[in-house]
Copies of this chain bind each other. A is one copy, B any other.
């Protein structure tokens, strides 16, 4: 297990996705975000819904998880956002060094 984590979240559109990840970068809560579109299918209020969304993979260190989760919940346009943490089992040392340098 490394000190690095991935956090997966989804946004309703590019505007909110880009704005919020830039705010997280400015606060140094994440080192990097990778954003791409997907089609989401899910249960909502008893119906199966279908939407285009932006999925984001956020890269940060485990010590920032609680603060990142709190900040994301406050900023997120969804009432029930997905804030999903996957711990990184191993990572090349140069990348981890950079990630620890650019986060708070």
Interface residues of A in 1-55 (CB under 8 A from B): 4-6, 8, 10, 18, 21-22, 25-26, 28, 31-43, 48, 53, 55
Task: Determine chain A's interface SS by DSSP, over half rule.
Answer: strand
Known: A35-B39, A38-B57, A80-B95. 14 other contacts (CB 8 A): A6-B8, A22-B41, A34-B53, A55-B57, A65-B90, A69-B92, A81-B92, A81-B94, A82-B92, A83-B91, A83-B92, A83-B95, A84-B91, A85-B91
Instruction: Spell out A's residues near B (CB within 8 Å).
Output: 4-6, 8, 10, 18, 21-22, 25-26, 28, 31-43, 48, 53, 55, 57, 59, 65, 69, 73, 80-92, 94-95, 98, 102
